[in-house]
Every structure is written in structure tokens, then in C-alpha cells.
Amino acid sequence: MESNCANRSRRRKLLALSCLGAALIAGSVSSAFAIGVQDECSVTNGYLTFLDFGPNGGRGRCGHLFDWNANWGAFGWSNRADDFRNDGNTHNACIYPSVNYQGIPRHLIRGAVTRWYDTVDSNAWTTSPTCPRPPAD
């Protein structure tokens, strides 16, 4: 069902974007059990998987990241992803509302899914029960 439409590789950084097949988002996307990243994006072990909902409940776009990324704008995903799943096996994932790991992050345990509309700008990984924070300004 899925075919890769773009692959962009950076040093120690990878973002794989996938165009999705025919699945259409049905019902309200705000429901806890609404169709989202769990349905639309394949599990990629070791990655943070995320989905940008398509317009008007249409097709979405998936991305997968490993490593820390201080600026999602660098690959065109600033404030864009809506649904997130931690497919990592060795770390909890942290997603931040601003670049350079600024703002109040969300901590995503392994295997968990969460929704945070058009907000995330950087991501990190941790084995701590809280997210790493840069030193206060």
C-alpha cells in the first residue's frame, strides 16, 4: 500500500517520507481512537513515526526519524506533524514545540501514540522518565 515518495538522508539523520495508499481518514480526528498514525504509517522499528493529516480528511503523509533533530524546519516538517508513535526499542521519545529542544516537551514511552496538531519542531530520545532540557537561558 505504501510507496516511498521521497528519501532524504543527512549525516546521522534520516527522514523517510511515505506517500500513502488509498486509506481515507474517516470520522472525527479528535477522537481518542480516531484513525491516525497507527493505521496510516507502517511501524519502522527504532524510529519516531509521525503523520501529517491530509486536508479535509484526505490522505496523510508519514515520516520516520531517528537521532535527535534540533530543527524539523530543516526538512520541511516545522509545525506540521499531527500524530506520533514511538517505534523505538531502546529509548523513550521526546517531542518539543520549538526548535533547539525549547518549550515544554511531551514524553512518549515506547509503543505509545499521541496527537499534537501542527506543533512539533524538534525531537530527542531519552532513557529518563522525563525529557532532556537544554540549560535554562
- List 1, 3, 12, 55, residue binding another protein (CB under 8 A): 12
The alpha carbon of 77 is separated from its chain's Cα centroid by a whole number of angstroms, namely 9
Alpha-carbon distance of 86 to 110, in angstroms, equals: 5
Contact status: 137 vs another protein (CB under 8 A): yes
7: number of CA atoms within 13 Å, CB side?
Answer: 3
**Number of other CB atoms surrounding residue 122 within 10 Å:** 23
- Taking the least distance from each CB to another protein, the nearer of 56 and 136 is 136
Distances (CA, A) of 111 to 44, 51, 74, 77, 88: 11, 15, 26, 22, 7
- Taking the least distance from each CB to another protein, the nearer of 4 and 130 is 130
Contact status: 135 vs another protein (CB under 8 A): yes
**Does residue 44 sit in helix, strand or coil?**
coil
Contact status: 61 vs another protein (CB under 8 A): no
**Does residue 56 sit in helix, strand or coil?**
helix
- Taking the least distance from each CB to another protein, the nearer of 17 and 113 is 113
Contact status: 21 vs another protein (CB under 8 A): no
**Minimum distance between the CB of residue 70 and another protein, rounded to whole angstroms?**
5
**Minimum distance between the CB of residue 23 and another protein, rounded to whole angstroms?**
10
- List 3, 11, 28, 56, residue binding another protein (CB under 8 A): 11
Phi, psi of 33 (to 5 degrees): -110, 20
- List 13, 17, 54, 59, residue binding another protein (CB under 8 A): 13
Contact status: 14 vs another protein (CB under 8 A): no
